[in-house]
Structure 1
Amino acid sequence: MDFRDAIDRSLAWAGGWFDYAATPWFVYQVGIIAALFALAKLAALRVEPLVEGQARQIKGHPGLLRVVIALLRRTDWILFTLFLFAALSLLRAVTWPSRTHLIQVALLLALAWLFATVLSRIIRNRLVARTLGWLAWIYAALVILHISDDAATVLDSLAIPLGAVRLSALMVLKAALLLVATVWLAVVVGNYIDERVRLSEELTPSIRVLVGKVAKIGLVLVADGGKRDGAVGVGLAFGLQKVVSNFVSGVIILLDKSIKPGDTISLEGTFGWIRELRARFVSVVTRDGREFLIPNEDFITQRVINWSFSDNLVRLDVNFGVSYDADPHKVSELAIEAAISVGRVEADRRPVCWLTDFGDSSLNFVLRFWIRDPQQGLTNVRGKVLLALWDTFKANGISIPYPHREIIMKPGAPSGR
């Protein structure tokens, strides 16, 4: 079947539905479907809270709990499918099957949507889960409506010849879906192996980390290597290795959640917070308003500091010196009070101040404190702490020394002329 045949069959299919839509029973079925959907929405408002309390009591089975919660979040759709099934059974008992065709299609589409959305909950990354859920439902809808072959023909006809290779939209779509699925599966298996290896007491800590990383990266490379044909292979053949590498790196970043929008990161002198994750790059906004588009591959191959990976708490140090006339015990107490007076400094994690050195002209200290919002800047909060130290020391008569020189002139010394 070629492109023209697919178009003709699609037009004939659409024409049949237009003719069917002109019948009175089509309008009746639309009204029944709309009424049942509204009824399901209203019933879900009462049913969901009653069942959720019982579901929350499931302990020790996080996977099962996640599936149950996913079903609860789709209570309205579950009730909708049940209502549709009941209506379909009742109508077929009293009228012709042709007068219930639209309700049957709605039931199958609702079941496909319910299955796709619940199944996608096993994928923790929301973007990947939603994408795969929608694609699964679209494919199911095409099969239910009996137009999957026509859609495949149309996508396959959208192609460009590249030498001996014919690159079609259908090939690219299949290759992309297969790549995402295999890389996701490789990451999940790699994370499981990594976790099991870390729990092993027979291996040293360094060997545990090494084995876990090799297993995770190796599985991802095997998954990627198995897809060298199709669209990915064509990209590599035409010098698009970096594009493919950045795409795969972006998938890995999305799946392992090493960085996410809102995180504060440092990478090769760039300090800022992540605004957006794209297929090819990561958008990082700095404090001066500049936006850096950093390739995904750099976040895999370079050393990245994620200031907010596990939590947002960040410790900062401020070094200062005071005169030898000052009492170091009192200096430490005043420095801690000065740091706490700054709004962004965490009072729950009390700052500390230590005497670090007897310098040439000062007692040297380090003041350490914690903040919870590194994305708001580091230099500015250090500056506020230094100003608070200045005000506190000045109010308590503690001087901050500065270098000075004394010249002693001896009588009778040669003038140097």
Structure 2
Amino acid sequence: MQSDNEIEIQSLLRSLITDVQEGSVLWQLAVLLASLGLAWLLQRQFRQRMAPEAGASRTLNISMSSLSRLLFPLLALALVIIGRGALNHWYSTPLLNIVIPLLFALALIHAVVYMLRRVFSSQDWLRTWERFIGWAVWSGLVLHITGLLPGILTLLDDISFHIGKQRLSVLLITQGILAFTISMLLALWLASSLEARIMQAAALNINQRVILSKVTRTMLILLGVLVALPMVGVDITVLSVFGGALGVGLGLGLQKIASNYISGFIILLDHSLHIGDVVTVDNRKGQVTSLTTRYVVLKIEDGTEALIPNDTFITSTVISQTYSDHRLRLILPIQIGYASPVEAAMKIMLDAAKKQQNILADPEPVVVLKEFADSGINLELVIWVEDPEGGALRLRSSLNLEIWSEFKKHGIEIPFPQREVRLLQPEKLEN
């Protein structure tokens, strides 16, 4: 006995043969080719207008490439549907009826790939999943067209078992996994899109952007879970039990994790720490490069990065060089010999500082005579810089080279430690 899908396919094939004999298939081909051509032109125009700049991030390039590929099947599908509606007034359209589900499957594949690339833009395993999604969608379409899909679904539903009074089948489990996955992907995709827009909002400072993006992501993921649970067949009231268990867990062993998350929101709300600040905490000095709800990324001077829990910034003393003012005072100590002209040395040091563009003119550089030491006279060059971490080492090196070169030209000596040793003869010791 033939299934409904087989009867429908046979009817479409008979209609297609009839249209070929009557010549109406040429109109359908014309509509199809015109739709594909116009969709290609619109996609090309979109790609040219929305092409990222040369210095754009890799994430933006991936996002725009995926969106451009998604645009073609969507435009082609819309144009074919419009063309079929117009052509139905004069001819039957079995060819377009076959093309539309194919274009829909292609659009579905590109839509899923686009969401995956937006959510997991930096992962290399996406290529394998893209192929898997493509094969899965095309296989489902083929099974639907050939009429085998209802039989397979019935077979999966027959493979079942019971947990208490609840009957579970392979089909129910598969549907639950797909529903939960799609719900979470949509939530993560919306969160990534909103987060990108929030981080570009110039009206908000960086802390407000970070906390708003984190709250938005958390709320969307929570909403996705609440939507997915009823689709899987889980009663939402079970969350009350889970919430009680979570509260007990926080009280027994997860209080440190909860403390880090709460501390993260406190740091973002009270504006005590910003991205780009130079701080010293827990015997580590570096620049804040990232603020998350659990830890702060601190880039050390040697290039390494320390992930410091947010709780540390709340309970420990934090030394910030850029809390209220990004300017920082640097002191370069230099010692000259007693026979060297002090005024000339001080003028050379001051002129070397004024030649450097990175040194601020207000407050202006100052050279002071600190003390008369055992081996020479100690001078100090006091300067102020705007970006202490960006080029402090290079600035010190440049200043020292300039001062050393001028000292050699003017005969100014930089002494080394000297000790006077006297040897007494034995007879003098007896006297």
The interval holding the TM-score normalised by the smaller chain is 0.3 to 0.5
Q: Give the TM-score, by structure 1 length.
A: 0.46
When the two structures are superposed, what TM-score results if normalisation uses the length of structure 2? 0.45
Of the two, which has the highest radius of gyration?
2
